[in-house]
């Protein structure tokens, strides 16, 4: 069986890590896209989406055209919004059957991880969520030591 990298990225930091993992491992990569893209104005996003986040609203995402039966492990990447995973990741976990699969999450954040990994477990109760890593950025500058990320990738 194989591993697949599934991620959502808003400003590009999560994409950067997903591509780094892909370049080191060759694993397949899937980008999750909301049907209605978010505004590029971060403050407007914060103002408009915060309440929806607290209500755990699920956004509609574009279909993913891979067969998850061909994979035993999903490396799941999300930015952290309001101390948890993003709505597109929540939508992915609700829409696709990952029962019996291992989920290895990585979360890009500014230092406020919150309940991100516990929430992933909540939305994937029949999966084994293990070996998560929190990867910090200061805006677009990587704060987490790159060697720590490489050790994590090598452990996959």
**Each residue's pLDDT tens digit, 70-82:** 999 999 999 999 8
Q: Going from the N-terminus, what domains does the chain have, and what CATH number goes with each?
A: 2-155 (3.40.50.360)
Q: What are the pLDDT digits (tens) for 103-156? A: 999 999 999 999 999 999 999 999 999 999 999 999 999 999 999 999 999 999
- CA of 90: how far to CAs of 35, 60, 123, 155, in Å? 14, 10, 7, 25
- CA of 44: how far to CAs of 13, 47, 81, in Å? 19, 5, 14
Q: What is the DSSP string of 4-57?
A: EEEE--SSSHHHHHHHHHHHHH--EEEE--BSSPPPS-HHHHHHHHHHHHHTT-
Which two three-digit tokens encode residue 42? 């971060």
The rounded distance, in Å, linking the Cα atoms of 67 and 97 is 10
């Amino acid at each position: 069986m194989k591993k697949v990298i599934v991620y959502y990225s808003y400003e590009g930091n999560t994409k950067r890590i997903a591509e780094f993992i892909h370049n080191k491992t060759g694993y397949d990569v899937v980008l999750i896209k909301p049907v209605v893209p978010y505004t590029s104005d971060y403050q407007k996003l914060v103002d408009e989406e915060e309440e929806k986040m607290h209500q755990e609203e699920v956004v509609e995402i574009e279909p993913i055209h891979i067969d998850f039966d061909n994979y035993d492990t999903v490396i799941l990447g999300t930015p952290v919004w309001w101390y948890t995973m993003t709505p597109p990741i929540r939508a992915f976990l609700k829409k696709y059957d990952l029962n019996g699969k291992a989920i290895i999450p990585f979360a890009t954040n500014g230092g406020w991880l919150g309940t991100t990994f516990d929430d992933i477990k909540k939305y994937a109760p029949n999966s084994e969520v293990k070996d998560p890593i929190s990867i910090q950025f200061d805006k677009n500058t990587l704060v987490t030591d790159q060697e720590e990320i490489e050790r994590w990738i090598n452990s996959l």
